[in-house]
Structures are given as C-alpha cells and as structure tokens.
Chain A
C-alpha cells in the first residue's frame, strides 16, 4: 500500500513544484484529492486528457497540486469555464472541483443550468458546510442553528441538500459520499467520470478549523467519525422512518439516468447546419 501511494504521488502530483500545500492539517480536501487520483488511475486516463478546473476557496486550490491541465477560475464560475472547454474540445475529460459556497451560493445559477444542459462534465462539490477560505462565514449548506462568523447568534436559514438539488435540476448522475468512506468515494468518482452526461459527486467533508471549532464538533478525527455515524446508505435509508433519518444524510448514488448529451446533440446540429447551408436558397 505505501509503495502504491508513493507511485501515485510521483505520477500525479506536482510534487517538486507546489508543495507544501495550503490546506490545514487534517482537512478533508486531501482525502478527496486522494480518492480522485485513485479513480483516475483506475480508469487509466492519460494525464494530458484531463482538465481539472476549480473555483475559489479551499477546495478550489486542488488543481494546482496535480499534473493535469489545470485551471483555477473565479469564485463560483468554474462550471462556465468548463462548459467552454468541453464544447470547444469534447475529447478532454473535464472535472470540476468546488466548495459548497462556490457551487451553490455564488455559482448556484451556473450549477443548476449545467445540470439541466447536460454536458459531459464531472462536478465534485466538497461540502464542508462553511466558507473555509474566508474565515468561517455561513454557506448555503450551513445547518440551521449553527454558529458561524456571520451568524454569531445562530444561523436562521435552511440548508440546501446539494445532491438533491442536482437531481431536481436534472443532472444525469448524482452521488454523495464522505471523506470517511474513502473507498466508496473513489468508486463514486470513478462512476461519475465514466458517466456520459453531467455528473455531480457531493462529498461531505470536515472543516474543523472554521466549522468544527465554532460548533464544538471536535478534532478532525471526531468530525470524520461524525460523518460515519450520520451517513446512511440509500438502500438502508429506504427502510428507515422519516424521523430516524432526521439528522442523517444519504450516501451512494441518488440518480443515474440516460439523457441526450449536449455535445452529441450539438454535433447533429453541425451536420444539419452544414447540410442546409449547402442547399440552394429559394
């Protein structure tokens, strides 16, 4: 196993260029990166084929560390850049990593439209329920009642469930994992990347520094254990009562449907446009 890890590090990380990284020790972001690299390695994708794009935030810092075509865009807008990349060069495998605020606050509009449009993109959203990078302000996924630097009297808004939001917006593949269930996560990412269509993988993660500390959630290990105890597989959740699911969340695949993929549809439009351009004008 350690040998395997060393091999992957050398193969995929810009290990001689960009380290040490910016993340706090114990941050869940590293676990997501590890799972992503293993998934990509298992799929046997060439590094040249992969674009890893991100928005702004702690999660958004991920691309700089890996040896792909990497793009660190503006806050909330990663999916728009990715849309341009995929449309202009569909042969690229485009993966986007965002934070919960990045994807569903400032980038919420792009998120639902990307899901609706159905380009073949894989969006990974690391949901730590807080704005990590800017110092612990509440995000659209901060639970009701939580303490944050901008809700010092307790948070009075309701939280988004990102995966459910993606399902409702029409994403072709939607899954949720956690940084505790690292192997499950690896599999979900693999499926998400393989899926032809817009895939969303929401990853419940720990930000012990900005979220955990203010809400007495403990150290990284305690927080990750919390994820373990509050995650319920979709299969199991189906058999549970509404009440017993109240403080829990589901993990696994929430949606996997076939729908027309934008780039394939657009290729048909090109053929049609070329045909009609050739026809003599009446």
Chain B
C-alpha cells in the first residue's frame, strides 16, 4: 500500500482502530476468548494476523489467553489480548506474572457494567481500580484510557511502545460506547508512526544477567531460543532470575520494578488540557465521558463560567503532578465517571489545596451527557 492510499479517510469503530493500531505497532500474536463488547477485536485479528505471518488463537478461556500472550512474548513476539469485565477478572493472576517477570504485553479491556456478568452491552467505567490493583501484590502497571476512535489507534501503538520500553503489561481501558461508535478517521501512515521494540541483550550469553539493575532500571530482554538460556519465574527472583528468599534481593527487585516506571513518568503520564488556560473550574475526565465533558466545557463558558477540562489519557501511574496543578489553579474540580467514583478518589487523594473536588456518577448503563455536566458545573 502506498502512503497516499493508506492516508484516505476511513469509517472505523473503536475496536477496529485498536486492531489497526496493534498491527501498526508490530503486534503479531493475539490470543483471546469471545466476549461482548470486545469480540470484534478477536474476529478481525483472526482475519488479519495470518496475512502478516502473525498468529491468532482462540483459547479455552481468558486465563489461557493471558498465559498464551506471555508465552508468545517470551519468544520476542509482540502480543495482545482483548476482553471485557468477566474475562479481565480471569486474567488477573497471569497479569501479575507478566508484571513480576517483566514480560511486555497489551491487554484491552472494553469495559461493561459489572460486577459479574453485569450489563454486557452497556458502557461503564467500573474497572479502573481493577486495572490498577486487580492482580495481587504490589506491582507497577500502566493503564491507558481511550475516548475516540483515533485514540484507539494512537493509544494502542503507545501501549505497545510503553510495554516494550518498560517491560510492563499495559492495559487499555475502552468501553462499549467507544468500541462500537463509528467515526471517520484518517490514520497515520506507517512512516509517521514511531514503533519501539524492547531492548535485546548486546552482551554474550555468559555475561547476560537477565534482571540486572542497570541505570534505566529496565534490563535487556533475551528471547527464548537464541542462546541466552535463562529462567523466568513468577516467584520473587534475584538479578539472575532465580527464586530468592533474601530480603535484600526481594527489596531490590521490587524497588526496581517501581523505579523503572517512576523514571518514565514524563512520557508515561499522558494528559490533554482543553480550555484550561483561564479556567476557574475544571472537569477531570477520561474515556467516553471526556467527550461529553469537552462539549460541557464549551457550553458552560457560554453561560459565563470559565470552565476547562483535563483529560486523563494515562490513568495509572496516576498523573499526579498535572492533576495537582489543576487543583491549585481551579476553585473546584468535577470528576464525572461511569462508576461510583474511582478516579475521583485519586483526585481527592492528591488534593492538597482548598479546592473542592466533586464527583458525578452514573451506573445505570447510560452515558453521561454534556447537559448533566453543565448543570453540575453551574452549581459547583
């Protein structure tokens, strides 16, 4: 395909754009289990991956899907799975494995109402805290949130890049509204996309220390079958990858897992500001709610109140610095969410100012409308 051809405008739904983003980022392995509203991602990749010498497999469940993508990634192949609430719950244990063994992989969770089977076809944002803390134990993880079809493409590429660069699983939180809305988008051509691959060891195998604490905190990752015969385990391990009970080893390896992410805050923590320059009240929103919030900001300004919006693209690691500066600038902040208040807790947690933080929540399977947000902003 020439660059010109690929640049034409296309009508895509969010799930399709995630597929395009994954392929553009170099994803060549997908394992999944059907679930609404994520199934289109599996279906499309079953068609597309073999065309590019990749592999698609439908596994027996989501536990298996998560295991398979970790296995594939250990051979150096960029891997992804996609699911929704119940399946995301099943993935948690193996997700923790990817965190501790530092295996790059991308997990898409197209959120639906929960808990349990919940509301399969209604959008929700109830899995935010699960995405952060769903697997047991202290662990770093990256969680991104998409709000438009174009986001679905761009952030999937980003998800792979961050996952490869930091050797950490990256969760993409979407929802039924973004996943199934069709929008006209012009996708960037391959030469406009930055694709990052994990760093491979450059030293000979006998010098390779698989979990060495180097300056960046992200050790190079050897691929199975290329002479670097090392051990990968979900047990806490020392620098050489072997299980350890020594408290100094344990502390050091856990610290490094967090440090490698902290070091990357500047590029990992992505946000977008909208009309924030002179804002006195702000909305902090993410996902499909950010779209309503955008409209609401414009409408509120027409009514004479200087409103602005901070859109969180990265939910975790929580973009604390930017949120704090919004809290310092504005007298009040509204956090609308399609849950009972998950990110609003984070905002309240970091609030050191006298600014008011209010939440606005819907858990009835309906989208939050701009009007609702305007009404709240007028009273705040």
Instruction: Decide whether A and B assemble into one complex.
Output: yes
Residues of A within 8 A of B (CB): 17-18, 47-49, 51, 53, 63-64, 67-74, 77, 79-89, 91-92, 109-110, 113, 266, 269-270, 272-274, 277
Residues 48-67 (chain B) with a chain A CB within 8 angstroms: 50-51, 53, 55, 57, 59-61, 63-67
Q: Does B31 contact A (CB under 8 A)?
A: yes
A269: chain B residues within 8 A (beta carbon): 50
Q: Which residues of A contact B29 (CB under 8 A)?
A: 84, 87-88
In the complex, what residue of chain A is closest to B63 when comparing beta carbons? A77
Output the nearest chain A residue to B205 by Cβ-Cβ distance.
Answer: A48
CB nearest to A277 among chain B residues: B51
B47 in contact (CB, < 8 A): yes
Contacts of B274 in A (CB 8 A): none
A-B contact pairs, 14 of them (CB 8 A): A69-B225, A74-B94, A80-B63, A83-B59, A83-B71, A84-B68, A84-B79, A85-B71, A86-B71, A87-B29, A92-B75, A109-B61, A110-B64, A110-B67
Q: Are B229 and A88 in contact (CB under 8 A)?
A: no
Number of chain B residues close to chain A: CB under 8 A: 45
Given contacts A273-B47, A274-B50, contact A88 B71 (CB under 8 A): yes
Chain A residues with Cβ under 8 A from B168's Cβ?
A: none
A47–B224 CA distance with the chains assembled, in angstroms: 11
Nearest B residue to A268, CB-CB? B50
Other A-B pairs beyond A69-B230, A70-B231, 19, CB < 8 Å: A48-B226, A49-B225, A68-B229, A71-B71, A73-B70, A77-B93, A80-B66, A80-B71, A81-B67, A81-B70, A83-B71, A84-B67, A84-B71, A88-B76, A91-B225, A113-B59, A266-B50, A274-B50, A274-B53
* Residues in A whose Cβ lies below 8 Å from that of B234: 72-74
Mark the stretch among B171-179, B235-243, B285-293 that contacts chain A: B235-243
Determine if A113 and B232 form an interchain contact, defined as CB atoms under 8 angstroms apart.
no
* B233 close to A (CB within 8 Å): yes
- Whether A273 and B67, one on each chain, are in contact in the complex, defined by CB atoms closer than 8 angstroms, is no
A48 lies within 8 A of B93 (CB): no
| Interface pair B67/A85, CB less than 8 Å apart | no
Instruction: Tell me whether B232 and A89 are in contact (CB under 8 A).
Output: no
Name the one of A64, A113, A266 contacting B233, with C-beta atoms under 8 angstroms: A64
Q: A17-B240, A109-B61, A273-B50 are in contact. Are A89 and B225 (CB under 8 A)?
A: yes
Please pick, from B31, B50, B226, B233, the residue contacting A270 in the complex, using a CB distance under 8 A. B50
Query: How far, in whole Å, are A226 and B67 apart by their CA atoms in the complex?
Result: 38
Q: Known contacts A84-B29, A274-B51: does B64 contact A113 (CB below 8 Å)? A: yes
- What is the chain A residue whose CB lies nearest that of B96? A74
In the complex, which residues of chain A have a beta carbon less than 8 angstroms from the beta carbon of B73? 84, 88
Docked-complex contact B229 and A273, CB < 8 angstroms: no
Q: In the complex, what's the smallest C-beta–C-beta distance from A90 to chain B, in angstroms?
A: 10
Interface centre among B59, B67, B76, B79 (most CB of A within 10 A): B67
B229 touching A89, Cβ below 8 Å: no
- Name the distance in Å between A281's Cβ and chain B's nearest Cβ: 13
Contact of B72 among A63, A85, A110, A274 (CB under 8 A): A85
Closest to A92 in B: B225
Whether A83 contacts B64 by the Cβ 8 Å rule is yes
Shortest beta-carbon distance, B238 to chain A, in Å? 10
Chain B residues closer than 8 Å to A69, beta-carbon distance: 224-225, 229-230
Query: Chain B residues near A68 (CB, 8 Å)?
Result: 229
Q: Tell me the complex Cα distance, A67–B240, Å.
A: 13
Which B residues lie within 8 Å of A110 (CB)? 60, 63-64, 67
Which single member of A72, A77, A88, A277 contacts B94 (CB below 8 Å)? A77
| Most chain B CB inside 10 Å of its own CB: which residue of A53, A81, A91, A110 | A81
**C-alpha spacing A274/B51, complex, angstroms:** 5
B312 close to A (CB within 8 Å): no
B60→A109 contact, CB < 8 A: yes
Q: Given A17-B242, A110-B60, A113-B64, A84 and B225 touching (CB < 8 A)?
A: no
Contact with A along B201-230 (1 / 0, CB 8 A): 000000000000000000000001111011
B229 touches A82 (CB 8 A): no
Q: A77-B64, A87-B29 are in contact. Are A70 and B50 (CB under 8 A)?
A: no
Tell me which residues across on chain A come within 8 A of B231, comparing CB atoms. 63-64, 70-72
On whether A87 and B68 interact (CB within 8 A), knowing A48-B225, A64-B243, A273-B50, the answer reads yes
C-alpha gap A73/B98 in the complex (Å): 10
CB distance from B3 to the nearest CB of A (A): 19
Known: A17-B242, A72-B232. A84 touches B69 (CB 8 A): yes
Produce 1/0 per residue, B338-359, CB < 8 A to A: 0000000000000000000000
Interface hub of B29, B68, B71, B73 (most chain A Cβ within 10 A): B71
CB proximity of B43 to chain A, nearest CB, Å: 14
A73:B59 contact, CB within 8 angstroms: no
Residues of B within 8 A of A91 (CB): 225
Residues from chain B with a CB closer than 8 A to the CB of A47 are: 229
A277 and B51 CA atoms in complex are apart in Å by 7
Residues of B within 8 Å of A82, CB to CB, are 71
